[in-house]
Every structure is written in C-alpha cells, then in structure tokens.
Homo-oligomer: A and B are copies of this chain.
Amino acid sequence: MSRAGRERMRGFRSFTPVDEAVRALLAAVDQALEAETLPIGDAVGRYAAENVVAPKDWPPYDRSAVDGVAVRASDVSGASPDSPIPLRIVGEVSPSTPLGELPRVGEGEAAIVYTGAPIPPGADAVVPIEEVLIEGRVAHVMGRVPPKGNVSLRGEDLRAGDIIASVGQRIRPWHVVAAAQVDVTEVRVWRRYRVAVVNTGNELREVGEPGDGVPNTAAYLISSWARELGAEVVSRVTVPDDEQVVREAVERGLGVADAVVVTGGTSVGKADVVPEAVASIPGARLVFHGVAERPGRTAGAFVVGGKPVLMVSGLPVACLVALNNFLRPLILRAYRAVEEPKPVVRARLVRRVANVVGFRSYYRVAVWREGGEYLVEPLMISGSGVVSSLIKGNGILVVPEHVEGYDEGEHVEVELIGPVREGRPPWLR
C-alpha cells in the first residue's frame, strides 16, 4: 500500500453539510433542456416546458347547471308552491341542440333544459325541475330564481388566456382534461433528462452472471429511480478501477447525457481513481467531496462544461440517498419543477434513534397502525449496503444534523415509501 493510499485510508478531512453541498451544486450547474411536443394524452408524468394556455372560454356559452326550465327570472319572482306561475313551454334544449336551433323564450314562456344545455335566448335563469310541475305544454313554476340562477356563465370555468399548467408543472390527469376541454391537443414538455451511468469496480460482474464478483446492482437502481422521476438512463458502462479507463468513460457519458453518475471507487478507503480520473478532464471543477450524510458520506460532485458528474457509492442505500439529495434537485431544476408533496405520517417511536451530531441520517423504519395510532420502529439492520432495510421497512426517518437522536415515545415525522398496515410486521426480528 502506498503512503498516499494509507493517508487516504484515514478518511475524509471534513464533510460538507447536505444543504451546503446542494446549494453549491445548484449554483455551479444550470441546465436548459430542449422542449418537445407531445399529444396531451401522452404527456402525463412529463413536465411542461411552456405554459399551457386556454385559447378560448369554457363553457363557450351560458349553460344550464341543472335539469329544469329556462325562464325569465322576472316572470317567476312571485312564484311559490302555493301560487305556482304557469309558463308556456316553447321547446326543449339538450347539450347537443345546435346553437342555431334554440327556441326563443319570451315573456310568460319557458323551455325545458337539461344539464349542460345552452341557455336559449330570452331566458336568463333556470328553475330546477324539482320546483316545476309539467302538464302538457305548461310548466307550473313553484319557486323563484334570481337572474343567472343555475346558469354556468360563459368562461366561468376557463377563460381565454387562463394558465392550465405553468412551466415546470408535472402533468397530471386533470391538466390533460382541462387542456382537452378547450381543444388543446398538444403540449410542449421538456425532453427527458438524460443520465449516463459509469459503474466502476474490479469486483463488479453483471447481474445474473455466474462468478464470485459483486453484482452490479447500482445500474438497476439508478435507471429505475430515474424512470420514476421522468428521466432516463441513456448509457451505461462497467469499468475497472483504472484512472484512464474511468476518465474516458466519463467523457463519453458527458457526450451523450446531461449528467454522469459514477458509482464505486469514490471512497478514500479504496484506490480512489474516480476523483482523480474526473479531475483530470480539462475544465473539471470539484464542487464537493465528502458529505455529512449517513449513509452516503463518500458522495462527491464535479462540474465539467456545465454538466454535473456525481460520484456516489455503489452500495444501494448510500446510492439512493445521494441520488435523492443531489441528482433529484438538478433534474427538477432542469425541468423548472418544484418537489411534489410526499406522503408523510407522524408516528410514535418504539425504540430510541441515535444520531452522530453534524450528520444528517436516513434511518429505514417500519411504520404500522396499532390501537388507533401510528408506531414507528427503526430497523436494526442498517448500513449503506443493506438493501433489506428498504424492502422490510416502509418509511424513511430523517434525523437532522443538529439533533442527537430521538427518544422512545417521541413523535417523529416519517416519509412513507410503502403501504401502512395494522400491527407490527412479523418479519421484524
């Protein structure tokens, strides 16, 4: 072992706080993606690149909000169940009646209308059918109604110029339907954020291949994580711990993607070829290396030509924490998006949780309901590589840097990553 290697095995000199690392990264990188046009039916889950604007009013004309009879409000101002006012029925209007074929409602007249039907000319209000007795061609109106009563006015729902989805909005079904309502059939969305993955490690073998090596799981994690966020992995390569080979792989990744994620070899406890490989790329600038988070403290980031190169652990939990802390804000910023709300629950701790002050810790926990309350138990199995902590638990408890820990019985807020059931899960030991 070289002297430098021994020196590095002593560990990082300092760890950058998570928020500071994120701020530095966002200050160093500001990416503008191209937009693409999609049929609105295919846009769910994508992010608007331009405001989606209503080109016209909806409803396009005054419509009845109920089933009933369209009248002149002034004609029925004295109506009551005891003294119904008879009106002559001049026609019947449904939502499919062409606007050119509407009956005219004069004084002392009424038209039967169905919900959504255009208000016929002359009428200015609708009396609900429950307050009308119909006999042949006469409507006996038993209730009064103010002008515009039970009428949905033109433009009441959407007015020409209204913003249906603003830049950065992640498109949900209701944005699709609102756009369709005013005949918007295409939207401009950001193209997917592209990620290149470089997995380093002499020990790695492909998943499913025979042999002693360590299966390259990080590649699967990153691509499925990216997919959930509306991004995509566009290239992936596994390389040995060789500075020149790593450097070339990162450079190729930078050529095809918006960000490069390099896994493995980032610890100072291992031959640290990755930081040196990336540092040797012309124009590369180190943003941070070593973060005050557990797991994931070996994470680091460079910027090369305006693009981020993230160095993360290849161990699943540490990798996930680093992706969420660093790549997620970069992708959301490129989409001009804000974070969607996450499912959280307040729950009572059944066992103490300790923290190393100065570090932000991500505990995998199990949350369940019992006796009408939510209980939470940190999983004993922990460590940056222990993937079973994610599949056996259903939540993440974040302990902030300034907190020494939480006591048994304390109420804490937990982010849920899976369904909550009744009773303590039997697979907890």
Chain A residues within CB distance 8 Å of chain B: 1, 6, 9-11, 40-41, 44-45, 58, 65-67, 92, 94-96, 98-99, 112, 114-116, 129-130, 134, 152, 156-158, 162-165, 169, 172-178, 180-183, 185, 201-204, 207-209, 212-218, 220-221, 223-225, 227-228, 267, 269-270, 315-316, 320, 338-345, 381, 383, 385-388, 390-391, 416-421, 427
Interface SS majority for chain A: loop
Q: A11-B130, A381-B157, A419-B341 are in contact. Are A173 and B96 (CB under 8 A)?
A: no
Q: A10-B129, A390-B174, A391-B175 are in contact. Are A94 and B203 (CB under 8 A)?
A: yes
Bound CA span A175–B180, Å = 37
A421 / chain B contacts, CB cutoff of 8 Å: 338
A217-B177 in contact (CB<8A): yes
Q: Measured between C-beta atoms, what is the minimum distance from A367 to chain B in Å?
A: 9
Bound CA span A45–B1, Å = 46
Bound CA span A58–B315, Å = 13
B316-A174 in contact (CB<8A): yes
Among A209, A215, A227, A315, the one with the most B-chain Cβ atoms within 10 Å of its Cβ is A215
5 additional A-B pairs beyond A115-B270, A338-B421, beta carbons within 8 Å, are A6-B134, A11-B129, A67-B270, A172-B224, A176-B221
A217-B115 in contact (CB<8A): no
B203-A185 in contact (CB<8A): no
A208-B224 in contact (CB<8A): no
Q: A94-B270, A96-B201, A156-B381 are in contact. Are A387 and B174 (CB under 8 A)?
A: yes
A386-B157 in contact (CB<8A): yes
A156 / chain B contacts, CB cutoff of 8 Å: 381, 386
Q: A174-B390, A178-B387, A269-B114 are in contact. Are A1 and B343 (CB under 8 A)?
A: no
A316-B177 in contact (CB<8A): yes
Q: Measured between C-beta atoms, what is the minimum distance from A303 to chain B in Å?
A: 26
Q: Pick the contact of A1 from B92, B225, B344, B383 — CB < 8 Å?
A: B92
B220-A40 in contact (CB<8A): yes
A173 / chain B contacts, CB cutoff of 8 Å: 220-221, 224-225, 228, 320
A112 / chain B contacts, CB cutoff of 8 Å: 1
